[in-house]
Amino acid sequence: MKKKHLAIVLSNLKGFEKPKLELEQYKTPGDVAAELLWLAYSMRDIEGKIIADLGAGTGVLSIGASLMGAKKVYAVEKDEAALEIARENTRTLGIDNIKFIHCNVSDFRTKVDAVIMNPPFGSQNPKADRPFLLKAFEISDVIYSIHLTKEEVRKFIEAFTRDNSFKITHRLTATFEIPAQFFFHKKRLEQILVDIYRFERSELPPYG
């Protein structure tokens, strides 16, 4: 499958019906998801691997990983309405290797080969991304994650990964389009910049 084709398939998946503001439910845009998955695939982190998608929402990243040849994907999501949409998206494509886990990411305890995630950016609840990062550090040696392209966020990610004995191996910047789904969006389509990261467990002790 080509990256463009993957982006289109993922863009066409069903989105959140009633996105919940407090959970920062934005469907990951197909092109951003494809960018993350392409990097992961080229780093040999997807094919034949066990993956966890933390805050799986409508299932975009989980489905993309499955299409790229993951052996098994855990789609972890605390909102049942979102999970129902993810299940529907999976059925539409005839995918059967995604296991849906209805829980808070903090309660998920299975070790995996790689985590892929688009956590809340923390614009509603500052620090909402922390439990996602901490869980990812706990269950995997390789992590792909999406965060805002902002100086203070970059500084935080750099320090937080280092303090948890991870290192940043890749950082790609992409445009993330959010449709006007919440009252505070004035434009029809809001464009923000995001960084797609790859983190890997580092042998070095923090500050070493």
- Binding residues for ligand SAH, rule: CB under 6 A, are 23-28, 55-58, 60-61, 77-79, 82, 104-105, 118, 120, 131
Work out how close the CB of 183 gets to ligand SAH at its nearest, in angstroms, rounded to a whole number. 18
Judged by beta carbon, residue 165 or residue 181, the one nearer ligand SAH is 181
Judged by beta carbon, residue 40 or residue 56, the one nearer ligand SAH is 56
Work out how close the CB of 136 gets to ligand SAH at its nearest, in angstroms, rounded to a whole number. 12
Work out how close the CB of 205 gets to ligand SAH at its nearest, in angstroms, rounded to a whole number. 29
Work out how close the CB of 32 gets to ligand SAH at its nearest, in angstroms, rounded to a whole number. 9
Judged by beta carbon, residue 58 or residue 90, the one nearer ligand SAH is 58
Judged by beta carbon, residue 55 or residue 140, the one nearer ligand SAH is 55
Work out how close the CB of 85 gets to ligand SAH at its nearest, in angstroms, rounded to a whole number. 8
The C-alpha atoms of residue 107 and residue 90 are separated, in whole angstroms, by: 24
Judged by beta carbon, residue 11 or residue 161, the one nearer ligand SAH is 11
